[in-house]
Structures are given as structure tokens and as C-alpha cells.
Amino acid sequence: MTTLDARLRDVRTRRKALVPYFIGGLTADWTTYVSAAILAGADVIEVGVPFSDPMMDGPVIQAGALRALANDVTLESICHDVSVASFEVPVVVMTYYNVLHHFGLARSAELLAASGVAGVIVPDLAIEELTPWREVATAADVATVLMVAPSSPIDRVRRIGALTQGFVYAAARMAVTGRAADVGDAERVVTSIRTVCDTPTYVGIGITTPDQASDAAAFGDGVIVGSALVQQILDGASAQDIEGSISTFREALDRTAPEA
Amino acid sequence: MGPPDEGGHFGSFGGRFVPEALMPACLELDAAFRDAWGDPDFVAHYHRTLREFGGRPTPVTYLGRLSQRLGLSVYAKREDLAHTGSHKINNVVGQALLTARMGKTRIIAETGAGQHGVATATAAARLGLACTVYMGEVDTVRQALNVFRMELLGATVVPVTSGSRTLKDAVNEAMREWVTCVGDTHYCIGSVMGPHPFPWMVREFQSVIGVEAADQLHEFGVETPDFVVACVGGGSNAAGVFAGFADTTAQLIGVEAAGGSAVGRGMPGVLHGMRSLLLQDDHGQIEEAYSISAGLDYPGIGPEHAYLADLGRATYVAVGDDVVIEALQLLSELEGIIPALETAHAVAWLLRAAGDEVPTGSTVLLNLSGRGDKDVAQVRSILRGES
């Protein structure tokens, strides 16, 4: 079991997990947004390391990633920022496989671990191709969080449940990242995950409003909020604005009682 | 050129690097293709459609005046004479028939030059499938007539405004779209790229080029050509023609655009569902390819080509934009064939290599992958010094 597994199981005993997503290097002071989010009640921070060809991301995160890349952001620069900031909640990096592949798998895992990153989400790394990465990442105590999609048949859910570390990313809908009007298929996806493993299960893809977060938390262990926040930052929101947004999500989740 | 391993690997290349949401569709497609390709009825239907609708078999033409000029014996496999003007029809007929066999009602595709988009729209119309084509905004301008062709054929063309607004971004957008509609929609990838089973399946559908050409050369009394030459973007026409000669002594030559030379300047990486050779910067960000021809504007190459290059079974070379127009003019004037700009890369390399890498007296099969009608406006403005 990785350190992230232990920490997230601990979070589950206390409350629903709130996982905001920030693009590393989107602004020069991006870590101040993260600090504000933690102050307002974030339990895990997802940090996007931009890739030129983000297959799983919709227009908002694409735009943010392009802006960050124009600032010459790299895996190393983001790891450096994370390391300096030394956040008190776990950091999970979301990136695409080529970024790790190019830097070197073992070298990436060591860099992430040394920077205090607890886990990664690599959406284009299917379980069929997972082994080389998972071995070096596990050795470095970097958890690899896997995604279950509404299209995943139960035998794949079982394999994903057995391989994921830290949490299971339950994709609420058949879509790339973005904003949506409801929580889609989330309940069905979470229910199928529950039948195969006891790992904390967080709902993401399209979670846009505190009410949706509350809906998702009625059956999931937490929620991931990405595009809604990135859009705010792209529109010029301050760290204080983000703190306010996170607070409303926190309140909505806290209205949902943790499972006994 | 055998099948890849069960996970779709050609050596260390290929594989399946896609979001979990798409994995079930890739697995379903793999099973459906294996089943169909092993079913004599499906294979017969595919060949019958290509014969009755696609214009196959395309001829092999001896290029007498070019041969005399170069001191070689040059034969051309005339994919430019296939329906819609290029080899692309072979693949889309196969995938469209497979789409219907899987019970799906809609097909989506990416396109660069527009040839694959036009071919897909054509096959979709023939089979009564709905069709949406993603095309980089830059390419919709460069190839405006092809946009109109697709629309005439009943397809919807979506200009892609993300990233570099060319072929690679059209692939990204088609993949993103596929996530949302995978239940009733097949993604008809246009080259030997993408996640398994696409590189293998597309090569199989294109192998009709090489199989036909080998037989046709026999009729000319050519047992085995010394060289088989094809242009390479993703590499589908090359894979198709190479497939007929992989087990012979013929030297296989893939000609890339200098500005999109994945074998020459690329490094191993993962993009669009596959591990292959890719143009990328020091941090693993994918670089834009640059070419006079939209169809070769791709920063990668099909994984089987990366493998063939690794093995040394095929050789990949590159030519710059400057010599491509000359090659197009020469083939037009000497042989009465206006080739596509993509195809002109293969011609340009042959002009350069004749008497050198290709010794005088050699027999060469040139895969004439497409016709140049779509490019004449662009060529005219280049020759008039307008661009």
C-alpha cells in the first residue's frame, strides 16, 4: 500500500474528499491558488502537468495547458514549485504518458517522489500498458490512480480496482474533461466499483457546481473539480476568489454525511 | 510483415495508449476485425466493393520516358486512379463495411489533406452511414475544395481550432469526440496509426496495393523489383505496398517530408494511442510538422514503420519542399500523370537517388498514392510566386 492509500483512507473516516485541479504554471503564482484551496478545505490537490496533445481534456483545460506551455512550464519546473510549496495535503499529478516516457519512467517517478508528489493520474495509460510505469512508481511510493469509465465492463472494473492506488477515479460520463449540467452516470459507475474494491472512489468529469458535488458525494467518497476552477482562473480570478469557490464546494460536501 | 502481438506491439512500438473510456471500443474493434478478416464472406464483400465501386484493381504503368531519363526501369502502381483519387478508398471501404457489421450507424474521421475525409464521406454515403470529419482549420483553408466535396457527399466537416490546427489536432479532436459517442460510432482512422488494432487493420486493408502490384509486375516480367518506393506521412500507402514485397529482396524505401521526418528526427514517444517515433521537444511536447503537403504534415509515423526502420527492413529518407514541385512538374510533363504533392515526395527522392542509392539499371516500383487534382491551385500559386 502506498502512502497515498493510507492518507486517503484516513480522509474517508473524517469527511468527503474535495479534490480541486490546478494547472501547474498556469500563472507565475499558481501555488498561491493551491494554498488558498487548501485553506478552504481541499483534501487532495490535483496538479496538471501540461501536454501539447491532451486527448482526455476539453476546451477549458486545453486552453489552460496551452497558456502554461507558453510560459515554458515543464515537469521539472512544476515539481520544483510543488517541492518549494510543500503543501500539507497530498498532491496528485495529472499528465499524459509521453511527458513521463520522455523524461524517463524511473527518473520521473524519482523526481515526483523527491518533490513530495504522492500519486499520478495518466489518462492515456491503459491497464494493458501500465506495468512498466506502475513498477517504478510503486517502488518510489508514487501511487498510480486509475480511471473507471461508464463504458468499462465489470471484468475491467475488477482489474482496475485491483491495480489502482490511492483512489479510483470514477468518470461520471463518457466525455473529456469539461463542465456539465449533472453528475451523469456517476452513481452506476461508483456502484460497480464498490462491488469490486474498497478503495476510496472519487467522482470527476463534469463536476461544475457545489450542488453537483453534493449529489456525487451521496454515493462517492469525494469529488474532483477541474474545468470549473480552471475557467475561473483563465477569467482572471484571484486566489481569494478561488478560496471562496472552494469554500462553497466544501460546505456542500459537508452537508453530505460521511458513510458509517 | 506479420501481425503484431496480442497487445498490438510491433517490437517495442504500437500498443494501446488510450483513455479507459475508449479501451472497450478498441477491444471490441480488435475482436470484430479478427472475426471479419477471417470470414471469407466479409473478405469477398470487401474485394467486390473495391472492384465495383472503388475502381480496383488499379493498373501498373511502365513509366517509359521517366525510366529513360533516369536510366532505370520505373513502374507506377496507379492508386491515383482509385475512386476519390487515392489509396485512401481501400481502407475506408474496409472500415465502413466493418462499421456496419458491428451494428454502428455513424462514422467519424480525421483528415489532413482531405483525401481520407473525402474517402470516408464517400464510403459512408455508399453504406448509408452518418459521417463527421474533423479537419484542422489551417487545412480547411489549404484544401477548401475537399471540404466542399465532403459536404456534397453528405458529411459534416468540423474545423478544429485547437493546437496547431492541423492533422495531429484533428486526430485529438476526433478521439475526444469518439469518447462521447463510442456506443454507436466508429472512428475510422485514416492511416496505419493510433491504438491497436488500427495500425494493423489499416495495413491489412491497404495490403491489396502490394498484393496486386506484385502480380501485375509479374505480367511485365518483373519477378521482384529492386526498390519499392512510397511517400510516408502516417504511412498507410507505404505499408500497403510494402506488404506485397516484405518477404522479397526488394529494398523498401519510405519517403518522408523533411519537415515531418519522424524517423529522421523523431524520438520514441506516445501519441494518439501508440508508441512510435515522434517529433518532440526536450520536454516531450509534440512538435508541429511542416510540409508543403497537408497529408504529410504529421509529427509521427505508424508504429510498424518505426519497427521496420529499427529492424533495417525498410529505409526512411526525407526530401524538402523545394524539390517536390519540380518532381510534380517532371512527372506531369514526362508521363501525363499529375501526382498529389504527397506522392511527389516519392518521385523527388527517386530523381535524387537515381544513379546513386538507386544504381543505374535498377527496377523500381513507385507507389503513385494519389492524384494531384486537389493540389493544382496551390501549385499554381507557388509557381507564380504567389506563396
Q: What does the pLDDT read at residue A257? A: 60
pLDDT digits (tens, 9 = 90+) for B279-324: 999 999 999 888 888 888 899 999 999 999 999 999 999 999 999 9
Percentage of chain B modeled with pLDDT above 70: 100
C-beta atoms of B270 and A148 within 8 A: no
**B348 and B270 in one domain?**
yes
Please state the CATH superfamily assignment of the domain spanning residues A3-144+209-254 in this structure: Aldolase class I (3.20.20.70)
Q: DSSP 3-state assignment of B239?
A: helix
Residue B30 contacts A where some CB pair is shorter than 8 Å: no
Q: What does the pLDDT read at residue A260? A: 40
d(CA B235, CA B257): 12
**Stretch B260-284: mean pLDDT:** 96
Q: Where are the beta strands (DSSP E) in chain B?
A: 9-10, 13-14, 60-62, 73-78, 106-111, 130-136, 156-160, 185-187, 227-231, 251-257, 267-271, 274-278, 314-319, 363-368
Residue A125 distance to chain B (closest CA, Å): 5
**B293 and B168 in one domain?**
no
Q: How confident is the model at residue B367 (pLDDT cuts 50, 70, 90)?
A: very high
**B93 and B82 in one domain?**
no
- What is chain B's percent helix, strand, coil content, to nearest 5? 50, 20, 30
**B339 and B225 in one domain?**
yes
Q: Show the domain range for B148.
A: 17-49+88-198
Q: What does the pLDDT read at residue B138? A: 86
Residue B313 covered by a domain: yes
Please say which residue of B179, B198, B217 terminates a domain: B198
**B324 and B314 in one domain?**
yes
Please say which residue of B198, B231, B261 terminates a domain: B198
Residue B4 contacts A where some CB pair is shorter than 8 Å: no
Catalytic pick among A46, A81, A215, A221: A46
d(CA A76, CA A80): 6
Is the ipTM, as predicted for this complex, more than 0.90? yes
**Stretch B269-281: mean pLDDT:** 98
pLDDT digits (tens, 9 = 90+) for A63-111: 999 999 999 999 999 999 999 999 999 999 999 999 999 999 999 999 9
**Stretch B166-177: mean pLDDT:** 92
Would you tell me which residues 121-180 of chain B have a C-beta closer than 8 angstroms to some C-beta of chain A? 162-163, 168-169, 172, 175-176, 179-180
Q: Which of B23, B184, B283, B288 to mutate to test the interface with A (most CBs of A within 10 A)?
A: B283
Residue B8 covered by a domain: no
Residue B3 covered by a domain: no
In which residue ranges of chain A is pLDDT below 50? 260
In chain A, what are the domain boundaries? 3-144+209-254
Catalytic pick among A5, A57, A185, A215: A57
Would you tell me which residues 65-104 of chain A have a C-beta closer than 8 angstroms to some C-beta of chain B? 66, 69, 74-75, 96-99, 101-103
Residue B330 covered by a domain: yes
**B276 and B170 in one domain?**
no
Q: What does the pLDDT read at residue A59? A: 94
Q: What does the pLDDT read at residue A258? A: 55
Cis peptide before A50 (omega within 30 of 0): no
Residue with grid cell 494554498, as numbered in its chain: A35
Task: Provide the residue count of chain B.
Answer: 387
Q: What does the pLDDT read at residue B260? A: 87
Asked about B326 being catalytic, the answer comes back as: no
- Residue in chain A lying closest to B178 (CA): A175
pLDDT digits (tens, 9 = 90+) for B65-100: 999 999 999 999 999 999 999 999 999 999 999 999
Q: What does the pLDDT read at residue A158? A: 98
**B233 and B95 in one domain?**
no
Q: How confident is the model at residue B267 (pLDDT cuts 50, 70, 90)?
A: very high
Contacts of A105 in chain B (CB under 8 A): none
Asked about A46 being catalytic, the answer comes back as: yes
**B246 and B162 in one domain?**
no
C-beta atoms of A126 and B18 within 8 A: yes
Residue B17 distance to chain A (closest CA, Å): 5
The CATH code of the domain that includes B192 is 3.40.50.1100
Parallel, antiparallel or unpaired: strands B156-160 and B251-257: unpaired
Q: In what order do the strands lie in the sheet with B60-62?
A: B60-62, B73-78, B363-368, B227-231, B251-257, B314-319
If one counts the domains in chain B, the total is 2
**B216 and B192 in one domain?**
no
C-beta atoms of B175 and A55 within 8 A: yes
**B123 and B31 in one domain?**
yes
**Stretch B33-40: mean pLDDT:** 98
Residue B173 covered by a domain: yes
**B270 and B282 in one domain?**
yes
List CB contacts of A182: < 8 A, sequence separation 6 or more.
Answer: A206, A212, A215
**B274 and B254 in one domain?**
yes
Flag whether pLDDT at B353 surpasses 60: yes
Q: What does the pLDDT read at residue A241? A: 98
Residue B12 contacts A where some CB pair is shorter than 8 Å: no
Catalytic pick among B79, B110, B212, B256: B110
Residue B11 covered by a domain: no
Residue B175 covered by a domain: yes
Going by C-alpha positions, the residue among B248, B201, B252 that lies closest to residue B90 is B201
Please say which residue of B198, B233, B254 terminates a domain: B198
